[in-house]
Amino acid sequence: MNVQWFPGHMHLTRKAIAERIKTIDVVIEMVDARLPASSANPMLRELLAHKPSLKVLNKADLADPARTQQWLAWYEQHLATKAVAMDSHHSAPAQALIEACQALAPGRGAMDKPMRVLICGIPNVGKSTLINTMVGKRAAKAANEPGVTRREQRFALQDGFYLFDTPGVLWPRIIVAQSGYNLAAAGSIGRNAFDDELVALELLAYLQKHYAAHVLARYAVLDGDGPAEQAALAQMPDFELFERIAYKRGALLPGGRINAQKAAELILHDFRSGALGRLTLETPAEFEAWLATGERLDAERQLRKEQYEQQRQAKKRPKKR
Ligand code: G4P
């Protein structure tokens, strides 16, 4: 998938975060609970080494609770990182974050030794919402379009406790194709960077296999939603399912052909709003497999590039007489 990518901006953000980190006591890294690995930026791991940090799987109200538990266990086992799931609109879990920060950096949080917490995460993951909930007023502006550049902001939570928003824009790093589709489905990358129909088809292909009951309950594309229908749905070509949904939901052009753009938008809207149910688009095991494939393809590409360079250099060399 063709996704816009801004390495120049990332370089600046990296520098800004590295600078800010020096005076930070705890880092809260927010990811989207529906796509925890795809919505993370691996660069942060290296920047945050040796800093107490807390992973927040946000928008857990939209994610599959069983899979969220799998991810929480995976973070604690594989990355030795404390992880919590939350809906950042609610103040009780936000309050619990304050206690978690205090546990990670005991001794900080007084006037003479303030607690400084950096909230990191890709656009649209819920940073402003969490800050607003923690500060208790509309302090940070929630932008509804991903990719809006914001300056670093500092918020006083209480005496001796400060929150800092990510300096610069932390783009996701799209290592594997599936991450690009998942980020697009969740609305985490700018609309101009992807094709709605392709993203909706990829989303359906995944949901058919893993959440057939949810798809049948929402769109009633088969007569019934029992095990036999779920098995039939899993076998259906994704474009056939897409077409059936378009007909069922009246996404049609004059003359009766399907309006693919409208159908794609309504499927993506249903996923993003939670109308399709609580869904998670990746498990730790799936992501590990995608990553292995992505890294192998990357290594092969690198090898081809090096071979090409060598051939080019060989052609340039003057022939010996
Ligand atoms: P950002 O600062 O990281 O860019 O994200 P921001 O807080 O602006 O949140 C992006 C969108 O995600 C907002 O929706 C926000 O309400 C929603 N959101 C944030 N946290 C959660 C959560 O835990 N659960 C759910 N379901 N949604 C969450 P919006 O439609 O863009 O704006 P709004 O009209 O809701 O304010």
Q: What number is the average pLDDT over the span 296-303? A: 86
Nearest to 136 by CA among 150, 122, 114, 156: 156
Q: What number is the average pLDDT over the span 212-241? A: 95
**pLDDT reported for residue 115:** 93
User: Measured in angstroms, how far is the CA atom of residue 229 from the centroid of ligand 1?
Assistant: 35
How would you classify the pairing of strands 161-165 and 154-158?
antiparallel
Three-class DSSP category at 199: helix
Residue type at position 41 = N
Q: Which helix (H) or strand (E) holds 68?
A: helix 65-74
Q: Looking at the chain, how many residues does it have?
A: 321
pLDDT confidence band for 12 (50 / 70 / 90): confident
Pocket test for ligand 1, best of 129, 163, 189, 273 (most atoms within 8 A of CB): 129
d(CA 32, CA 125) in angstroms, rounded, equals: 6
Consult the annotation and say whether 128 binds a ligand.
yes
Is the confidence at residue 151, as pLDDT, over 90? no
pLDDT confidence band for 15 (50 / 70 / 90): confident
Q: Whose CA is nearest to atom 25 of ligand 1?
A: 59
Q: What number is the average pLDDT over the span 75-96? A: 85
CATH-assigned architecture of domain 194-271: Orthogonal Bundle (1.10)
Consult the annotation and say whether 126 binds a ligand.
yes
User: Rounded to two decimals, what is the model's pTM?
Assistant: 0.88
Q: Whose CA is nearest to atom 21 of ligand 1?
A: 59
Is the confidence at residue 189, as pLDDT, over 70? yes
Q: Whose CA is nearest to atom 27 of ligand 1?
A: 59
User: Exposed (0-12), middle (13-18) or buried (19+): which is 207, by Cβ within 10 Å?
Assistant: buried
Atom of ligand 1 lying closest to residue 143 CA: 8
- The CA angle 115-118-119, to the nearest 5 degrees, is 130
d(CA 313, CA 315) in angstroms, rounded, equals: 5
Consult the annotation and say whether 192 binds a ligand.
no
SS (H, E, C) 109-176: CCCCCCEEEEEECCCCCCHHHHHHHHHCCCCCCCCCCCCCCCCCCEEEEECCEEEEECCCCCCCCCCC
Pocket test for ligand 1, best of 118, 124, 278 (most atoms within 8 A of CB): 124
* Dihedral (Cα; 41, 45, 46, 50), 10-degree rounding: 150
User: Measured in angstroms, how far is the CA atom of residue 46 from the centroid of ligand 1?
Assistant: 27
Which CATH number applies to 6-163: 3.40.470.10, 3.30.70.100, 3.40.50.300, 3.20.20.120? Answer: 3.40.50.300
Pocket test for ligand 1, best of 29, 87, 144, 273 (most atoms within 8 A of CB): 144
d(CA 172, CA 96) in angstroms, rounded, equals: 27
d(CA 121, CA 104) in angstroms, rounded, equals: 19
Q: Whose CA is nearest to atom 26 of ligand 1?
A: 59
On whether the CB atoms of residues 197 and 260 are closer than 8 A, the answer is: yes
Domain ranges of the chain: 6-163, 194-271
Atom of ligand 1 lying closest to residue 148 CA: 4
The token duo for 21 is 């980190």
d(CA 32, CA 121) in angstroms, rounded, equals: 9
User: Measured in angstroms, how far is the CA atom of residue 129 from the centroid of ligand 1?
Assistant: 6
Consult the annotation and say whether 190 binds a ligand.
no
The helix, strand and coil proportions of the chain, stated in percent and rounded to the nearest 5, come to 50, 10, 35
User: Measured in angstroms, how far is the CA atom of residue 156 from the centroid of ligand 1?
Assistant: 21
Atom of ligand 1 lying closest to residue 121 CA: 3
Residue 300 backbone class (left: φ over 0; alpha: ψ -120 to 50; beta: rest): alpha
Q: Whose CA is nearest to atom 32 of ligand 1?
A: 144
Consult the annotation and say whether 187 binds a ligand.
no
**pLDDT reported for residue 24:** 93
User: Exposed (0-12), middle (13-18) or buried (19+): which is 262, by Cβ within 10 Å?
Assistant: middle
Higher pLDDT, 256 or 276: 276
* Dihedral (Cα; 117, 123, 124, 127), 10-degree rounding: 10
Consult the annotation and say whether 61 binds a ligand.
yes
Percent of the chain whose pLDDT exceeds 90: 52
**pLDDT reported for residue 137:** 66
The token duo for 175 is 């290592």
Q: Which residues lie with the beta carbon below 6 Å from any ligand 1 atom?
A: 58-59, 61-62, 87-89, 121, 123-129, 142-144
Nearest to 166 by CA among 22, 49, 12, 16: 16
